[in-house]
Structure 1
Amino acid sequence: MLVSPEGKEFTYALRFEFSTTNNEAEYEALFAGLRLTRELNIQHLKAFVDSQLIANQVTGTFEARNPTIQQYLAKENELIEHFKGFEIEHVRRSQNKKADALSKLASMTFAHLAKEVLVKTLERRSIEVEEVNDLYLDEDKTWMKPLKDYLAYGLLLEDKGEARKIRIKAPSYKLQDGKLYRKYFLTPWLRCVGQSQATIIIQEMHEGVCGFHAGPRSFVAKIMRLGYY
C-alpha cells in the first residue's frame, strides 16, 4: 500500500508463481514498492514492514547470511540509492491490518480485486531477472519532442498555430532528468510515454492482472494510477 502525505491510498497486490520463504516474500513486496515509487518519481520514502529482521538487514543492523537474501538485499540497496531520503521502520502486524488483509486476499484469488486494486503476478523472483527498462526508448521521436524542446531550450515549431498550442500546454508539464511529466489533479506527476512505451505498459498490465477484461476507461485509470500518461 502506498500512502501519500495527504493520506490518499494506492493499493497494489502481488501473487507469486514460485515458492518463497516468508522473508523472500517480504523482500519481494518491499522491492515492488521501491520500484513503483521510483517510477512515480517520488524522492522521499518511508517504508513500513512487519518483519523486524528485514528492517534491520536493510538498515545494516543485522547481517544477511543466506545467499538468496544477500541478493535481495543488494537489489534493495541499489534501488534505495535513487531516493533523496529513505527510511524503513518495523511495525507490528496489528498496525498493518489493511496490507495484511490485502495479501491474504491476493494469495487466494485476483478475480474480486481487479476493480479496486492494481494486481500483478510474478513468474520469477525479482533477483532472477533484469530490472524493467526505464521506458526511455524513442521519446525524441514522439509527440513529446516539441514540449521537451520548448521546456528545455525555449524552441518552438515554425507553424504558428502549433507553436501556440505548445505554449498553452507547457505549464502542465515539467522536465526532470530528461524525462517529461504531466501534472494531474488526482495523482502525482505522471510520466509521459510514447507509442512504443505505451505498448510495453499495456502488455505488462494485461499479463499482470491475469486476463483483465475491464473497459477502456478502467484500463486507462489503472495505467494512470501506475504513474503514466
Structure 2
Amino acid sequence: MMMKWAVELGQFDLEYMPRTAIKGQALADFLLEFDSEVDDKALMVLHPSYPKEVSEELPHPWWILHVDGAVNNGEAGAVIVLVSPEGHHMMSAIHFKFYTTNNDAEYQALINGLKISLEIGVRNLIAKSDSELVVNQVNGGFQARGPRTKLYLRYTQRLIGRFKEVCLECIPQEKNNNVNVLAKMGSQQEAVLLGSIPLEIQEIPSIP
C-alpha cells in the first residue's frame, strides 16, 4: 500500500514544511471559523496591564466603621472598630496627649478611623458615629462654626473624597455604648481594662 502511494505521488513536486507555531495557527483558525457566528462582544482578552477602567467597574465590598471620641476628667481618647465584609472586627484605642473638646475628640475619632480604613485599602465604607453635630456638619446639614472646627471639617471631607463611596450615619448613643465605654478607657489610658485592644498615643492634633 505504501509503495502504491509513493508511485502515485511521485509525479507531484511535494515538499514537507513543519508547522512551527501550531498554537498561534490554531487560534487564527478558530477566529476565522467563528468570526461570523459569535458576537464580537462575547470575548474579551484581559492583559496584566489592561486599563484600570476594567478593575474600577468591579464591585467593592462594604466595610463598617464605628468611631467614638470622649473627654473624661480633662483627658481625651477615641476608639475605632472596623468591621470587614466577612464580619471580622479590628479595634484600636487612642489616647490624646493634647487639649481637645468633646466635639474635637469626635472629629479625631472619625479622622483616625478614615485613615486606618484607607491604609488597608477600603473603598466603600459605612461610618457610624453617635455625634449628631459631627455627622451633620460632614453631611452638610449643619454649618461649622469656629476656625478649628472648620479645619477639622475640611480635613475630614478630604479624607472621605479618597474613597469610592462613604455613607456617614448618626446612631443613638445607646447603640454605640460599647464603643463609648472603650473610648472613655482610652482617654484614661486604662490598658489593663482595654485588654488585647492596642492603645496608641497621639501627641498632636490631626489639623495644624
Normalized against structure 2, the TM-score is what? 0.59
Equivalent-residue separation in structure 1 for 2:96 and 2:133 (angstroms): 21
> Which string of whole-angstrom CA distances, capped at 9 and with x for unpartnered residues, describes residues 100-129 of structure 1?
11111112224326751122111111102x
Say which of 82, 89, 94 aligns to 2:174: 94
Equivalent-residue separation in structure 2 for 1:79 and 1:111 (angstroms): 29
Matched, 1:67 2:147: yes
Aligned to 1:44: 124
Equivalent-residue separation in structure 2 for 1:36 and 1:113 (angstroms): 23
Aligned to 2:198: 118
How is 1:4-153 mapped onto 2 (pairs within 5 angstroms)?
A: 4-112=84-192, 116-128=196-208
Equivalent-residue separation in structure 2 for 1:65 and 1:114 (angstroms): 34
> Which has more helix, going by share of residues?
1
> Which has more strand, going by share of residues?
2
Equivalent-residue separation in structure 2 for 1:72 and 1:92 (angstroms): 22
> Which string of whole-angstrom CA distances, capped at 9 and with x for unpartnered residues, describes residues 3-61 of structure 1?
11222111111111111111000000000000000000100011101111111100111
> Which string of whole-angstrom CA distances, capped at 9 and with x for unpartnered residues, describes residues 77-99 of structure 1?
11111100101000111000221
> Which string of whole-angstrom CA distances, capped at 9 and with x for unpartnered residues, describes residues 113-151 of structure 1?
6751122111111102xxxxxxxxxxxxxxxxxxxxxxx
> Matched residue pairs, number?
128
Gaps of 5+ in 1: 129-229
Q: Provide the alpha-carbon RMSD of the alignment.
A: 1.3
Equivalent-residue separation in structure 2 for 1:39 and 1:81 (angstroms): 14
Equivalent-residue separation in structure 2 for 1:46 and 1:114 (angstroms): 25
Aligned to 2:82: 2
Equivalent-residue separation in structure 2 for 1:75 and 1:81 (angstroms): 10
Equivalent-residue separation in structure 2 for 1:83 and 1:35 (angstroms): 11
Shift of 1:69: 0.6
SS at match of 1:127: coil
Equivalent-residue separation in structure 1 for 2:129 and 2:82 (angstroms): 12
Equivalent-residue separation in structure 1 for 2:86 and 2:178 (angstroms): 18
Q: Which runs of 4+ in 1 moved over 4 A?
A: none
How is 1:145-164 mapped onto 2 (pairs within 5 angstroms)?
A: none
